[in-house]
Structure 1
């Protein structure tokens, strides 16, 4: 029994450094798949059933920020996808835009893409999401609220909650496809 006790004590020891979960601005930067209890300050939380009553592209802009699984950007900014991505029909997909620290060019691509989609209107209803228990939709919602958008909503259950309602998912491509 003793040989199991020592490793358990080492794991629980407060002297062992752990990587931080949040940066100084409050964005989640590690372990993105974990329970999220509440929406960011100034952001509303929308239930999947309520979101399903809206028409993507007409009543609200649905913004998926799930990363491109196994995918990457080429030198010219085009996305190369290893696995097709399915999301809510009519969504705009901005892979990697939900990370706490955005990669080179992603911040500009995301900001310009949202500005283009909203036609500069900061009061456009925006619904941000990824999957259930994922901080990336939360981060993206916080980022857009900080950028001055006033009608930002977080769909905490993401595509998982949409599927639970037996709503269809469709294959989507990255929004605009090119990152400067």
Structure 2
């Protein structure tokens, strides 16, 4: 029995556990709440103090991608939420857009929403976030970079870092509204 276990361990590629966390395109697909050390390629990292100096909607678009825990997007495109969500004041909330594998309809909804908010400007300053130690902001930033956006910043500390600075959060609804 012991020899079989050793043989199985030796037969398993060393990167197996790491590879199971990412898909072939490089998006994190599991265990989203874990330390993230670097921004995705082509994306900058912005400190919470620097982000706090910017005016959401004027200097930069703040994009929250935290999932709608217990909620879902209905066939009509409206969100049904199980709980309210607070975010950085002035942020635009795109729940589920930070998952590695997107549910049907989420990818186009996210892409169209960002295009609308930026008015098609690929150089608009975008700040992506969720919470600290969360890969969803990282995934969403990577996704926008792949779509040709060039001025993307990842706020790794997310809303946790924002509140650590004693900055307020405000109630937000998903882009597209919330059904009653």
Task: Provide the rounded CA distance (Å) in 2 between the counterparts of 1:14 and 1:23.
Answer: 23
Which stretch shows the higher mean deviation, 17-26 or 59-68?
Answer: 17-26
The equivalent of 1:3 in structure 2 is: none
- What is the TM-score normalised by the length of structure 2? 0.89
2:70 corresponds in structure 1 to 70
Query: What is the SS of the residue equivalent to 2:63?
Result: strand
Q: Sort the Cα spacing of 1:121 and 1:71 in 2 relative to 1 into closer, same or farther, 3 A.
A: same
For residues 1-180 of structure 1, the aligned pairs below 5 Å read 13=9, 20-177=20-177
| Unmatched tracts of structure 2, length 5 or more | none
2-side partners of 1:145 and 1:139: how far apart?
10
- Unpaired stretches in structure 1, ≥5 consecutive residues: 1-5
Quote how far apart the aligned CAs of 1:74 are.
1.9
| SS of equivalent residue, structure 2 residue 127 | strand
Aligned-residue Cα RMSD (Å) equals 2.0
State the shift of 1:78 in Å.
1.1
Q: What count of residue pairs does the alignment treat as equivalent?
A: 170
SS of the residue aligned with 2:87?
Answer: strand
**TM-score (normalised: structure 1):** 0.89
* SS at structure 2 position matched to 1:112: helix
Decide whether aligned partners of structure 1 residues 14 and 51 sit closer, same or farther in structure 2, where only a CA change above 3 A counts.
Answer: farther
Q: Distance in 2 between matches of 1:68 and 1:15?
A: 40
